[in-house]
Structure formats: C-alpha cells, structure tokens
Amino acid sequence: MTLRDKVILLTGGTGSFGQEFTRIALREHGPKTIRVFSRGEFLQNEMQRCFNDDPRLRFFIGDVRDKDRLRQAMRGVDIVVHAAALKQVPSCEYNPVEAVKTNIEGAINIIDAATVNEVSKVIAISTDKAVHPANLYGATKQVAERVFIQGNSSSLTPHTRFSCTRYGNIIASRGSVIPLFLEQRQHGFITVTDERMTRFWITMEQGVRFVISCIDRMRGGEIFVPKLPSMKITDIANAVAPGATWKMIGVRPGERIHEILLTREEARHSREYDDYFVIAPETPFCGDIKLEGGRELPADFEYTSNGNHEWISQEQLAGLLEAAQGSSS
C-alpha cells in the first residue's frame, strides 16, 4: 500500500482536510509516522487529544513561509501532502501580499525542502478556483500549480516527484454556503447570490481518498481531477432551508456563476478514466509524462459545473450532510 510504513509530512495538518486525512491514513493505511505541520499550537494540542496521543503522530509548529523549518521537518520523510493555504476569498483580497507569501512562496519552499531531503513523492491540494481565476485566491493557486509541475524539471534528484490534485467545493466545509444556510435558516431567511449558480461538490472523505489514490498513481507532473457531481444553488437552498425566505444579494466580488475543473486548452493534453481525468504537463521540460490507458477527450471538451452529466438531488444532499456530520462527530 502507498502509505504503509512511510513517513508522511502533512502541511496544514490541523485543518479539516488534514484531520480527515490523518484519520483515514491511521485507520486504513498503516503509515510509520504522520508529521502534522501547522502554525497553531492550540489546534495541534486539540488534534493530539482527539487522536488519543497516537504514537504515530508528530506535531511540528511551523509555517510554509519558513524554508529552514520546512527543511528540518522533512528530514527522513517519504511523502509530503501539501494542504496548507490561505483559502478565504475575501481575506486573500484584503491581504494580497500575505496570500502570495503563503500560497505561492510557500509552494516554492515546499519544493526546495523536498528536493534537498530527497522526498519521494509530493502532492499538492489545489482547487477549481485555480482555473481561469476570478479572484486572488484562485490566481495564487493557479501559480502554485504551475510551480509544482515545474518542480519536476528543477528537482535536484530524479527520485523526487511533484503532482497536484484539483477538485471542487467540500460539502459543509468551513466558509462554504451550507453552514451559512444552516445558520441563517434559524431566522427564517437565507441569502442567495444568483439563482443560476452551480457548483461541483465533494465530501471531505471523498477528497482524502482521492488524494491517497493519486499518491499511488502519480509519476510526477500530473494534475489529477476527479469526476464530481454538480448541484444548483437553488436545490441546495431548498434542501438545507426548506420554507425559508430567499433574499437575493447578487454575485459577490470574485465569485463566478459556474465553476470549471478542466479547460479546453488542458483537455488537449489530458486523458479520461472511469472516475477521474489526468492533465499531463504540456511543456517538454517537465519530463516526458506519457499517460497510460484512458481515453482521449473530444475536441473542445471542458469540464464545467453547469455542463455536467451528474447532478446531486436534494435528497442525496441531505444524505451526504448526515454522513458528513456523522464522520465528524
């Protein structure tokens, strides 16, 4: 198995993704050690108690902006999962330099520390916001993706490989619309931006399992994109807050009506598999990555939330929310 007996460094390890990754990895994949790398000692202490002081966990206080600390934390590491980022769109817009330092310079520091320590595999968590970005958060993640893919050509050792995963909105994650609707419905109304809006959706568990499967598949230079269902904002509103009054507020700054996970330009050098796509590096200096199996994509193909073939019903969303709440309790 990919993670068995491996030493893993998990940046942003106390976040929602990091905790779910740790839970699944420890329970199902038998890693030797997971090093949780994050800035906050309080959250690390809470996570340590949550996992009952599991001896396979190590907690490193540090920031991805700090190259020296990353180099120290990666000594003896086999796999790096890079989940640390500034993610809130309004916060990134108001603090653009800080977003660049964490999301772009942090990615550069990860690559540097991994190559110096000859880490075998490094995978970064990206987002649909990185595709044709409409806000600074998306722009920084787009650059981070490019930096990671390019890391395969600048690596000091051929044994260190870099890849990315890119997926959509996490159901009921912090800062998403579902927790907002749950809070607002107590007052009898919810705020809806635009009735046309659609989004890709994935549960946290699905996201973690997809990342783990990509660690196994990666050869270096790929961007892995899962096939995800879409949902209309109106169906989300009716499922989460039935009977509530809608207050239309318009599209917020940096927000899009629909999301896109794979562009027409990327489709020319991508392959389709049963439940995911793989985008191969387009430039030759990233290495000659020849995707095996799969199918070529049709001309002018693009993967968008409004043009999707799979949709979540209101009943399915209710079940997903119940499952998500059960796994977090």
Return d(Cα 121, Cα 221) in angstroms, integer.
Answer: 11
Contact 109, 64 (CB under 8 A): yes
pLDDT score, position 238: 87
Domain boundaries, the chain: 7-168+202-227+261-303
| Percent of the chain predicted with pLDDT > 90 | 74
Between 233-240 and 314-328, two packed helices, what is the crossing angle to 10 degrees?
Answer: 60
pLDDT score, position 1: 62
Pairing of strands 189-192, 303-304: unpaired
Mean pLDDT of the chain: 91
Its CATH class, for the domain covering 7-168+202-227+261-303, is alpha beta
Q: What is the mean pLDDT of residues 73-85?
A: 98
| Residues annotated as part of the active site | 129
Structure confidence at residue 323 as a pLDDT band (50, 70, 90):
low
Contact 266, 291 (CB under 8 A): no
Structure confidence at residue 314 as a pLDDT band (50, 70, 90):
confident
pLDDT score, position 213: 97
Structure confidence at residue 286 as a pLDDT band (50, 70, 90):
low
Q: Cα dist. 281→128, 263, 312 in Å?
A: 18, 14, 32
182-210 as b/e: b if 16+ CB within 10 A: eebbeeeebebebeebbbbbbbbbbbbbb
Q: What is the mean pLDDT of residues 175-185?
A: 83
103-139 as b/e: b if 16+ CB within 10 A: bbbbbbbbbbbbbbbbbebbbbbbbbbbbebbbbbbb
Q: Provide the token pair at 87.
A: 């993610």
pLDDT digits (tens, 9 = 90+) for 209-264: 999 999 999 999 999 999 999 999 998 888 888 889 998 999 988 889 999 999 99
Contact 234, 195 (CB under 8 A): yes
